[in-house]
Amino acid sequence: MKENSLSPASITDNLETHFVGQRVIYYPSLTSTNEVAKREAQQGAAEGTVIIADEQTAGKGRKKRVWLSPKGNIALSVILCPDIAYLPSLIMLASLAVVNGIEAVTGLKPQVKWPNDVLINGRKVCGILIENEVLRNTVNYAIIGIGVNVNLRRTDFPEIKLTATSLSHEMGRDVSRLSVVRNLLVEMEKLYLMLRAGESIYEEWRDSLVTLGRRVSVTSGTSRYEGIAESVAEDGSLLLRHADGSLTKIVAGDATLRD
C-alpha cells in the first residue's frame, strides 16, 4: 500500500466500513469534488461513494469562498442519503470524523470552531462544505465535502500563513494522506450509523468546540452579533449571551474568536 497513493484500490483495500468508501472515484486534478459528487448522486450513485482528487483547483468553502487544495493535501466528497431528521447533525458528523481521523493518525488534538472549522493550535487545518438536495421532505442526497491541509507548506502560501496550518507543519514531517483518508472514512461511517440507530453525537461534538466560553463575533446573513458563546443546542445552533444579558440563538453563521 503506497502511503502517497489515493487510488481507489489503496483506499478500499481492507477498509473497515460497510459502505462509506467502498466505492471511490479518483481524479488527478478536479475543479470541485462536491460538483462531481452532485452529478454522481443525481445519476444514482450508491450511498457512501467517495469522490477524491489529488488536486482541487476551484474548491468551494462556505459562503462561496475558495478553498485552496494543492497537491499533497486531501480534497474529497462523500455521498450520503440520510433521513431529513439527520441533516442538522451532518455538520457535527463531518467535523468529528475529521477530528477523530486526524488524532488517530497523528496524535494531535484538533478542535472545532463553530460551526465546523477544524483547528489545530488556533489555526485552520480543515474546511467542510455540506450541500444537499431535498424534495418534499425527502433528502435526495447530501454531499459532505472535506478539505484537509496535510502536507501543505505554509511558507508557499503567505496569504494564509497567519490563519491556516497543516498536519505536516504541526508534526514537523510529512503525514500519510492515505492513512488520514482511511481513518476519516471509518469514523464517518461509525458516526453515521450511530445517528441512524438513534444515538446522539451532539455531546461529543459540543465537547470538541473551542468556541464555547469565548468572546466571539458572529455573522449570520446580514446580521452581526457579539457576545460570549455560551452553549450549543442539539440542532447545532449557537447560543450567544450579549453584554446586556440577553440571549440569541444563531442557527447558521460564521464565528470569529475575539480573545
Tally of structural domains, the chain:
2
Residue 240 placed within a domain: yes
Question: What CATH number does the domain containing 195 carry?
Answer: 3.30.930.10
Angstrom distances, CA of residue 223 to CA of 64, 147, 255: 18, 28, 12
pLDDT of residue 132: 92
User: Is there a single domain that holds both residue 27 and residue 104?
Assistant: yes
* Burial of residue 135 (number of CB atoms within 10 Å: 0-12, 13-18, 19+): exposed
Question: What CATH number does the domain containing 240 carry?
Answer: 2.30.30.100
Q: Assess contact for 165 and 123: CB atoms under 8 A.
A: yes
Which range among 2-6, 28-32, 171-175 shows the weakest confidence by mean pLDDT? 2-6
What is 42-70 written as a DSSP string?
HTTPPTT-EEEEEEEEEEE-GGG-EEEE-
**Pairwise CA distance, residues 256 & 250, whole Å:** 14
What is the residue range of 45's domain?
8-207
Per DSSP, the three-state class of 98 is helix
* Burial of residue 48 (number of CB atoms within 10 Å: 0-12, 13-18, 19+): buried
pLDDT of residue 65: 54
User: Is there a single domain that holds both residue 149 and residue 51?
Assistant: yes
Average pLDDT over all residues of the chain: 90
Residue 2 placed within a domain: no
User: Is there a single domain that holds both residue 75 and residue 97?
Assistant: yes
Angstrom distances, CA of residue 200 to CA of 18, 84, 114, 191: 21, 15, 18, 9
Find cell 497513493 and name the residue.
Answer: 5
pLDDT tens digit string along 161-204?
A: 778 899 999 999 999 999 999 999 999 999 999 999 999 999 99
Residue 126 placed within a domain: yes
Residue 77 placed within a domain: yes
Residue 1 placed within a domain: no
**Confidence category of residue 1, pLDDT binned at 50, 70, 90:** very low
pLDDT tens digit string along 52-89?
A: 999 887 655 544 555 566 678 999 999 999 999 999 89
User: Is there a single domain that holds both residue 94 and residue 126?
Assistant: yes
Residue 146 placed within a domain: yes
User: Is there a single domain that holds both residue 150 and residue 26?
Assistant: yes
Over residues 228-243, the mean pLDDT reads 91
pLDDT of residue 137: 86
Angstrom distances, CA of residue 28 to CA of 44, 109, 126: 23, 30, 20
Find cell 492515505 and name the residue.
Answer: 178
Query: Of all residues in the chain, what percent carry a pLDDT higher than 70?
Result: 92
User: Is there a single domain that holds both residue 118 and residue 94?
Assistant: yes
Tally the residues of the chain.
Answer: 259
User: Is there a single domain that holds both residue 153 and residue 224?
Assistant: no
User: Is there a single domain that holds both residue 202 and residue 228?
Assistant: no
User: Is there a single domain that holds both residue 108 and residue 220?
Assistant: no
Q: Assess contact for 75 and 69: CB atoms under 8 A.
A: yes
In this structure, what C-alpha cell is assigned to residue 26?
479518483
pLDDT of residue 133: 92
